Amino acid sequence: MDPAVPLPAGLVSRLATARHVVALTGAGVSAESGVPTFRDAQTGLWARFRPEELATPEAFEADPAMIWSWYEWRRELMAAAAPNPGHRALAEFETLLPEFTLITQNIDGLHAQAGSRRVIEFHGNLFVNRCLAGCDGPVDVPRPCPEPPRCPRCGAWLRPGVVWFGEAIPIEALQTAKAATDRCEVFLTIGTSALVQPAAGLALRAHDCGAMVAEINIAPTGLNGVAQYRLAAPSGELLPQLLDAVRRRRESRS
């Protein structure tokens, strides 16, 4: 890691005594696993589209086959990816801290694969498909699945179980995330551009409730003035170091 980015002592000592910590992750956490972030673009066939044009209910309605094949492309990319040391450090934080709430905007399932047991999937999961017409529950789909499949119950299209632009966050995920944000002592915002609402508003909410907010991101975001600490380093390198420092500090206190 860049030696110019030391771990701030104030953050380490706060994490060492905190009872409840929240981490909000975004696409940047999976970048070191080889999953491209939204802002870093689409490649190949899809380079000429913006994700905001593809990830909407209107786009799916207009051309289900095209949108399904974009998700197929992303599904295969994400299925080939493995958790990186950043995901694994976050799973360890869950066992180290008395209470740790992990909220992710990612749809790739890599936190669970890394061993995190409780993950609030704010934007759903790409590997869970459901009926566009609203039949209850997930539907298994073979992989790969080049054509958009139909719901076995009602015949409507199946859609990826993700939250599209313009759609609401699942109510339980939203309420649990807000409640945790309101109670936490430290809020870590990691690898997210903090542009997509309502996830982006959680850091400000935590700040307003008196939590210490720290940001881990290789590039600046709009969270200036909200984040007390900004750690400009890749999360896969920084999080294991932060975990080690907090663990050592906790052990020396016990």
Catalytic residues: 123
How far apart are alpha carbons 209 and 224 in whole angstroms?
Answer: 17
CB of 199 to ligand NAD, least distance (A): 7
- Pairing verdict, β 20-25 and 99-104: parallel
Using the structure block, give the residue that is written with the tokens 């040391």: 85
**Binding map of ligand NAD across residues 233-252, x = CB under 6 A, - = no contact:** -xxx----------------
CB 103 within 8 A of CB 202: yes
Kindly state the smallest distance separating residue 252's Cβ from ligand NAD, in Å: 28
Beta bridge partners of 158: 131
Rounded to a whole number of angstroms, the distance between the first and last alpha carbons of the chain is 29
Q: Which residues lie closer than 8 Å to 104 by C-beta, 6 or more apart?
A: 24, 25, 26, 29, 111, 119, 120, 121, 122, 123
Contact window for Zn ion (CB under 5 A) among 47-55, 72-80, 89-97, 128-136: 128-136
Over the window 73 to 112, marking each residue x when it contacts ligand NAD by CB under 6 A and - when it does not, the resulting string is --------------------------------xxxx----
221 is a contact residue toward ligand NAD (CB under 6 A): yes
| Residue 163 DSSP one-character state | P
Amino acid letter at 157?
W
Contact 209, 182 (CB under 8 A): yes
Exactly one of 112, 191, 206, 207 binds ligand NAD (CB under 6 A); that residue is: 191
- Cα–Cα distance measured from residue 79 to residue 76, given in angstroms and rounded to the nearest whole number: 5
Please state the φ and ψ torsions of residue 238, each to the nearest 5 degrees.
-75, -40
State yes or no: residue 218 binds ligand NAD (CB under 6 A).
yes
Q: How far is the CB of 14 from ligand NAD (least distance, A)?
A: 21
Q: Does 125 bind ligand NAD (CB under 6 A)?
A: no
Min dist. Cβ of residue 34 to ligand NAD (A): 10
22, amino acid identity: V
Q: Give the range of 86-94, 148-156, 180-188, 237-245 binding Zn ion by CB under 5 A.
A: 148-156
The amino acid at residue 31 is A
Interacting residues with ligand NAD between 6 and 35 (CB under 6 A) = 26-28, 30-32, 35
> Is the Cβ of residue 135 or residue 218 nearer to ligand NAD in the bound state?
218
Q: Which is nearer to Zn ion, 126 or 131 (CB)?
A: 131
Q: State the Cα angle at 201 between 123 and 84, rounded to 5°.
A: 50
Binding footprint of ligand NAD on the chain (CB under 6 A): 26-28, 30-32, 35, 37-39, 105-108, 123, 191-193, 195-196, 216-219, 221, 234-236
Binding footprint of Zn ion on the chain (CB under 5 A): 131, 133, 135, 151, 153-154, 156
